[in-house]
């Protein structure tokens, strides 16, 4: 029996990699029903970036993963609003957010409504940022070779 009934996690899931898969797999291992919010292209701008893979394709990738029970659109960063709509009892997030003022506030807010926050270790070996840097180097290399 899983520890939690409904779990929730969100992400951009651009340039999908093993770190993304690990958080989804670990999350599903702790809950009966895993809801995953996929960030819209418009919201990705909060990272001062543009998604390489369009939203509809990123959403389809996440929908096809066996650890995911439900996919929802994440069009804002308001996690409490998501809780009011989805009624999850745990939220899963990467450890790179732990201790930030934003997530310290979420911890306070979620504690009041009985929602746990589980932080999973950030995958240091692979990240979308690192993949993006490699792609940029390849692109720049190709431009200088022409």
Q: Which residues are catalytic?
A: 47, 49
Q: How far apart are CA 52 and CA 41, in angstroms?
A: 9
């Amino acid at each position: 029996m899983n520890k939690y009934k409904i779990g929730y996690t969100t992400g951009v899931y651009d340039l999908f990699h093993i770190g993304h898969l690990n958080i989804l797999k670990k999350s599903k291992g702790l809950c009966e029903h895993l809801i995953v919010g996929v960030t819209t292209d418009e919201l990705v701008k909060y990272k001062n970036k543009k998604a390489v893979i369009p939203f509809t394709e990123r959403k389809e990738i996440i929908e096809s993963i066996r650890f995911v029970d439900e996919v929802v659109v994440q069009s804002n960063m308001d996690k409490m609003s998501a809780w009011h709509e989805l009624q999850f009892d745990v939220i899963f997030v990467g450890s790179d957010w732990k201790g930030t003022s934003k997530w310290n506030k979420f911890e306070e807010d979620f504690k009041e409504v009985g929602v746990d926050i589980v932080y999973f270790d950030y995958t240091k070996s692979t990240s979308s940022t690192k993949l993006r840097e490699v792609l940029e180097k390849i692109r720049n290399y190709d431009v200088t070779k022409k």
